[in-house]
Amino acid sequence: MAERSTAAVDVADNSGDEPLTAQADQSTADGVAQNRERDTDSSASEEAQGSGGEDLAKTTPPELHSGHKLARRYRLEECVTRLDGFSSWRAVDEKLRRAVGVHVLPADHSRARSVLAAARSSALLGDPRFVQVLDAVEENDLVYVVHEWLPDATELTALLAAAPLEPHDAYQMVTQISHAMAAAHREGLSHLRLNPSAVLRSASGQWRIRGLAVNAALRGISSDTPQRTDTEAIGALLYAALTQRWPYESDAYGLSGLPKGVGLIAPDQVRAGVHRGLSELAMRALANDGATASRHESPCTTPEELVKAIGEMPRIRPPEPAFTAPPDYQRTTYQQGTYGRQAPHAGATQPIPTPPPPLQSRTGRALKWAVSALLIAALGLGSWQLADALMEHRDRSGDTDTSQTTDDNDKSPTKPVTKPIAISGAHDFDPFGDGSEKPSDINRAYDSDAGSYWQTNFYKGADFGNLKSGLGIILDLGKVQQVGKVTVTFVGDTSVELRAASSEASSEPTSFDAYTKVAGGSGTSVTLTPDKPLKSRYLLVWLTKLPLTNDGTYRGRVADIKVTS
């Protein structure tokens, strides 16, 4: 497997696993984790999630311990899950000096092949909204899967242990997770164990999903309707985020279930103050066997349908920051001139001395006279200058000999007339990537329609996920022309450079080095003005930093380009 350069990553999913044996729970000298795993999924809920119902002969897990090395690289540190023939560890990649997570199981385990296949398929997706698989190897009678470890991320389980999510946070969670799962299903991948332990919120507020395809393969879970299973799981996550309750009768993931025999209750009926639109969205995703939400909308049975339903909702904005009034001013007990004096008795009313009238002293009277004299002098000088200017203007207007001529000192340079330059053609330019990004939509970048745009692929960071230095659009002006400025309109704050080919170029250059930087800037509407006069036929609008989008990824979007002389 090709390794990824991204750092840090997954925490093993240990909610929903069967309890560890007493022996696995005992303290050991080699540092194996001592936390007892608690089963949060009953056999009935396992069937609801689509368990394949395998009757496996238990395979003895390999004897591993803290300090054991895999491939002379991954040093196991702490066991976080051990059950059903496999174990999950927090480990250290000694080559790259970073923390990673590792799932380990015997090569002869009945699920070993399916785990390898699931890990490799998940790694090929490369979507930053999922915790990434870094390696999947069969070696020395072992199969192990290496994945990211996210030390700064918090499980949804831990967030809900404190309180339900605010409406804006719940909206962001369901939006990002729905978009991510829709993208995964378009590539033929499903999760099938999407629960509060598999959803993480990073320190930047981005939601990440761990265990795509791998968690289900480790436990032998399958489903005849994977899209429906994952969609219902997203509905359960939203329900729990709004109510701090699990939408089934059994307790799970540290959350209380619904009262038995009552059935599924809408979130806004379980807890006061729940956002009505999100409540109905959760019911549509949880709808089963023809059941629908309170307003009788059709149920959402796939992540794509859920994404469409979210798009039809009014956007939920973050709450306004609360204003904290400053504390009332309190007079200090120390006052000038009280040092060494006896403090007044408590409760005694102290007279407040009346300040003297302003400017009643000898110095004050002198200051008033000085200011008055200055004002009179200023008014006199101003009146004289105004009268002199009026007289000079009248003399000039009466002089017929000089009315038709202009003194050389009064001449001002004529401002150059600017005019738009038509763009005869354009195409995307990705010399440091795969050579092309959305070429079919390139005309939207200069069609004078602010509602349409050309966009890049999505990336894990503003700097193109450290994959390349940038990408852009080459503009063909039809012939060599004088370029005064280029105005670029973006969707979201974007950093951009204007580069130009030599005016002597007989054909369009294909090398990045053939374009020289002449201007730069950032924002949503950037005017790029060359420092020196510029003549060129081929211009390169080069994007260097991308904005964050609503789905938690980084993507450049060019709405319009104008070139003027």
pLDDT tens, 194-241? 999 999 999 888 999 999 999 999 999 999 999 999 999 999 999 999
List, edge to edge, every strand of the sheet that includes 69-70. 69-70, 74-83, 86-93, 98-106, 142-148, 133-139
- Among 149, 126, 155, CA closest to 74: 149
Residue 296: strand, helix, or coil: coil
What per-residue confidence (pLDDT) applies to 25? 33
- Parallel, antiparallel, or unpaired for β 86-93 and 98-106? antiparallel
**pLDDT for residue 151 is more than 70:** yes
Residue 32 amino acid letter? V
Residue 383 banded pLDDT, cuts 50, 70, 90:
confident
Residue 92 banded pLDDT, cuts 50, 70, 90:
very high
Percent of the chain whose predicted confidence (pLDDT) is above 70: 75
Burial class (CB in 10 A: 0-12, 13-18, 19+), 88: buried
Task: In the chain, count H helices and then E strands.
Answer: 11, 17
What per-residue confidence (pLDDT) applies to 369? 82
What per-residue confidence (pLDDT) applies to 236? 96
What per-residue confidence (pLDDT) applies to 499? 95
> What number is the average pLDDT over the span 389-416?
54
The tens digit of pLDDT for each residue in 253-299 reads 999 999 988 889 999 999 999 999 999 999 999 975 444 444 557 89
Residue 55 banded pLDDT, cuts 50, 70, 90:
very low
The predicted model scores a pTM of: 0.52
**pLDDT for residue 91 is more than 50:** yes
> What number is the average pLDDT over the span 105-111?
94
**pLDDT for residue 13 is more than 80:** no
Cα separation, 116 vs 120, in Å, equals 6
What is the residue-averaged pLDDT of the chain?
Answer: 80
**pLDDT for residue 163 is more than 80:** yes
**pLDDT for residue 394 is more than 70:** no
Cα separation, 344 vs 125, in Å, equals 78
> What number is the average pLDDT over the span 44-65?
49
